[in-house]
Amino acid sequence: MTASATGTATRICLHAPAPGWSIDADVVVVGSGVAGLTAALRCTAAGLRTVVVTKARLDDGSTRWAQGGIAAALGEGDTPQQHLDDTLVAGAGLCDESAVRALVTEGPDAVRRLIATGAHFDTSSTGDLQLTREGGHHRRRIVHAGGDATGAEVSRALVEAVRAAAVRTIEDALVLDLLTDAQGRTAGVTLHVMGEGQHDGVGAVRAPAVVLATGGMGQVFSATTNPSVATGDGVALALRAGAEVSDLEFVQFHPTVLFLGPGAAGQQPLISEAVRGEGAHLVDARGTRFMLGRHELAELAPRDIVAKAITRQMQLDGTDHMYLDARHFGAAMWETRFPAILAVCRSHGIDPVTEPIPVFPAAHHASGGVRTDLRGRTTVPGLYACGEVACSGVHGANRLASNSL
């Protein structure tokens, strides 16, 4: 189906009506997680008319649910090369080393930019960043905020910065399809605004550049850590536009998700890998640590290895969950280091201070997505992708913990 737009042919979704209204921009950013809002701020700072479109509210994406933190070689004795080595091992030989090198060398400055933007990370009494350790890491290199509320703090800072910069935003809007001109170049997006505001119904934002930052696809699975907005629509849009995708089969399951019963579905509470990084143990119903001897890092092995081990042990024992035991932390540590997780567990009738936490693996992160180069360019001219919707080659077959934010 084609429609006329400013003198050139544009392609829109087969099932979508023609746009009833349109606005013009230089860049459309689709999504409002850390990737999308960072892209919007950088584009705005470069003088580009930028519009952010999100199908919920600005802070409703996956970012605010991230607990553990951000991986960057900021600690004493740590180096980008060591971070690269850990990432390549976790990726099971399928990472693009040039992409990983970009991540690990630019990561520390990216954290500093977040701090300059207004994000407040946990610090020691001397003012140094507190660092923790997670699965697959041989160093303590995870920066965190609010104990276990890193994503919420990063989201808060970026949303405030976007509003302070007066970036135009359209919330409660589902992007339907990519607009292209007669030469096949990006010309904007069609969208359906579902809320009440300046625009409603089907419209268009016309721009020569579109940045997909729509996050993951966890809601495809019956149990996931992803919020309800993570439905894979960015990948679907890219496919309809003719963009190449890669590694969609590599969906990472997080090993330790709070088990709420055999009938639980949809978004499930995450028990951050940082809990294991601080010394929690995975045990079976008898209290036996089953990761010992399975990997040199035991509970801190890469996520795919831990998730497989838990699944294997569940099959051997004929049960639907294992346990994470952190009773030795004591009440004070739980209350200061992991207050959000403590509150979530207690809201479901589980007290980690006095009993092990029932856990099981659930869908968590899409390592594949829309194929991009190191500048976020897809195979469709003018269409870019970043964050979880993109496949730059960083994650390979399995994302290293905290390499996402």
> Which amino acids are annotated catalytic?
303
| Cα gap 257→224, rounded to integer Å | 8
Cβ(38)–Cβ(158) under 8 Å?
A: yes
- Return the residue matching tokens 């030989």: 93
> Where does residue 289 rank: exposed (0-12), middle (13-18), buried (19+ CB within 10 A)?
middle
Alpha-carbon span 401 to 303, nearest angstrom? 8
- Write down the residue that tokens 């580009």 correspond to: 48
Pairing of β 209-212 and β 383-385: parallel
Task: Tell me the H-state helices in 253-367.
Answer: 273-277, 303-317, 330-337, 339-347
Distance between CA atoms of residues 336 and 333, nearest Å: 5
| Torsions phi, psi for 333 (to 5 deg) | -70, -40
CB 220 within 8 A of CB 38: no
Q: Which residues are paired to 131 by β-bridges? A: 143
- The rounded distance, in Å, linking the Cα atoms of 172 and 389 is 19
